[in-house]
Structure 1
């Protein structure tokens, strides 16, 4: 995920590529067996802030319902929830403290939804283009930051546990192609990057041994970026359970991009899922087709899930224009039918 406001939207739109830009040279064949369980889901981290500022949702019949109930009606079975270290009170670019995230996780569990906790290791957006440490960590040495990481993840996982939720997945970083907590944990400092990520991994497992620890990278169409990260991480003793990928491409490139996800995951013996998808809400037909194309390719190539990034959002809450809701009617657009096709 990207930066703030329009910057974030521009970063995401830059991830979407034309068919001619995808290069799959030298890749082997993807697995043919479908995953035993396929999770359809969504990142809904903006929901509490939208509700707090008066936003509500109608279902496709025009009846107001809880947003999680509406999403479940489309077959969604999982949610992703981001968390920031010391966030501001800004409704769009802040909130998502661990206490707020835990409260939303409780709500998701009560709705019967699997939970993915998404650490950003920052005070606001971190993404493929931005990996800033929390302000409180910014002047730390590697040794100090390592201690801070152990303490932070252990504490926050215990907050989730105290609230009675066991996450199915925990992402240790968000779109971390270039590493985390720059410059200390940059991919150009692979031993330090790996040490910080392994500290996070170990504390997740200390509290939730069964949770799948996910490494999340963006733009899987860029195969060299995938190999640069995983070569550095694995080569320095990185430990993880699963790969997660962001992709916002069109239907025409979905199969090739999913082939890249499968190829890099197979190379390291890891299962994988797509943890972010989105498309232009004003182009309902093409975004619905892209959603269907990614889901089809993932299921055919062993992917274990597909999560839409903030489908419930609508203006004027934010200028982000890749949700799946109609801002006039407050009803879901036909994009959401891509989950049931």
Structure 2
């Protein structure tokens, strides 16, 4: 009996050690903020490393976007493979896990635009397949040489209508599937333990997710994790009217496709500190409610991107350079 209890207790401890919830921040703007002289401060006004400030608030995961051949624009450039490696090494040294987000573009890729990199613009579809594989492999190899193996790789960014338009549009789902699988194959060639994420926006909209991932199943897309964005602000409703939809969609995705799920982007109005904190708490609770530990984590998009520098309303930083108390949601 005692042996059985000890075994059960040991087994349960191992399971809990294996499952560690990710509380994350996407900080793609951080190197540019620092390069332009932006300073970060803790609550008592002492200057501090931004990543340390995030870590102090419970953040254990850093998400970094990669663009193929970006320009030097302050807000819409940088994030080159080389710059991404520098940030990944820095975050890993602080004990952070790493997620790499491949946009397969020279700048922002999202539901409204999925522009091919200029260097790939005239390539045939077979050439694009090679491009996706080689770019993914090369970036991950650069990271590996620097001592970083990411825990997750995101193949495409918010792709409800596909990526690398027009060839990879969802109108050509079979071609989109081939492109996604090239990203998957390149990732697994670097390390089969890296989990591959396919990411859509509007995580509270189950019909959108079912349509896409049913088609992905039909077309034999390979992936490990379903990534969701959740921004109540952009649909002009308070989180309380959509949080149950998010929770139900998370659970449906996990059971319908037998996949892990993760909110890879979230954000709230920086001027509504308490509301954003409560939204984050509710989002974390929703992800943790997914059965069998299939809810992996929640990542805030550009929390450090203070409004005066970025113009971004959904940051989580105060005008005096200090973290918003909204981020305390990640401590709890």
Give the TM-score, by structure 1 length.
0.87
The alignment's C-alpha RMSD in Å is: 1.5
1:84-110: CA deviation from partner (whole Å, max 9, x where unpaired) = 001010010000000000100000110
After the TM superposition, which residues 70-85 of structure 1 pair with which residues of structure 2 at under 5 Å, given as runs?
Answer: 70-85=53-68
Structure 1 residue 261 displacement after superposition: 2.0
Q: Tell me which structure has the larger Cα radius of gyration.
A: 2
Cross-structure match for 1:97: 80
Q: 5 Å matches for 1:114-125? A: 114-125=97-108
- In the alignment, structure 1 residue 156 sits paired with structure 2 residue 139: yes
Shift >3 Å, 4+ stretches? none
Q: Does 1:325 align with 2:325?
A: no
Picking from 125, 138, 152, the partner of 1:142 is 125
Name the structure 1 match of 2:24: 41
Q: Does the CA contact (< 8 Å) of 1:255 and 1:293 recur in 2? A: no
**Which residue of 1 is the match for residue 228 of structure 2?**
245
Larger deviation: 185-194 or 33-42? 33-42
How far off is 1:160 after superposition?
A: 1.0
Aligned residue for 2:100, secondary structure, equals strand
Among residues 182, 194, 197, which one is paired with 1:214 in the alignment? Answer: 197
Q: Structure 1 residues 201 and 43, CA, compared in 2 at 3 Å: closer, same or farther?
A: same
Give, in whole Å, the separation in 1 of the partners of 2:86 and 2:255: 36
Mapped contact 2:307–2:315 kept (Cα < 8 A): no
8 Å contact kept, 2:140–2:187: yes
Query: Quick check: 1:335 aligned with 2:326?
Result: yes
Deviations 1:135-177 (A, max 9, x none): 1212222111111112211111111111110100000010011
Q: Deviations over 1:300-340 (max 9, x none)?
A: 2241100000101113212111111111x211121111112
Aligned residue for 1:310? 302
Cα deviation per residue 1:65-96 (whole Å; 9 max; x = unaligned)? 11111111111110100000010100100000
Aligned residue among 283, 289, 293 for 1:294:
283
The DSSP-based 3-state class of the residue aligned with 1:125 is: coil
Gaps of 5+ in 1: 1-32
Total equivalences in the alignment: 308
Q: Give the 5 Å matches for 1:190-201.
A: 190-201=173-184
Secondary structure of the structure 2 residue equivalent to 1:316: helix
Q: How many Å apart are 1:262 and its aligned residue?
A: 2.0
Partner Cα distance (1:305, 1:147) in 2: 32
| Inter-partner Cα distance in structure 2 for 1:307 and 1:244 | 10
Shift of 1:228: 2.0
Contact 2:153 2:196 in 1 (8 A): yes
Structure 2: unaligned runs, 5 residues or longer: 1-14, 233-237
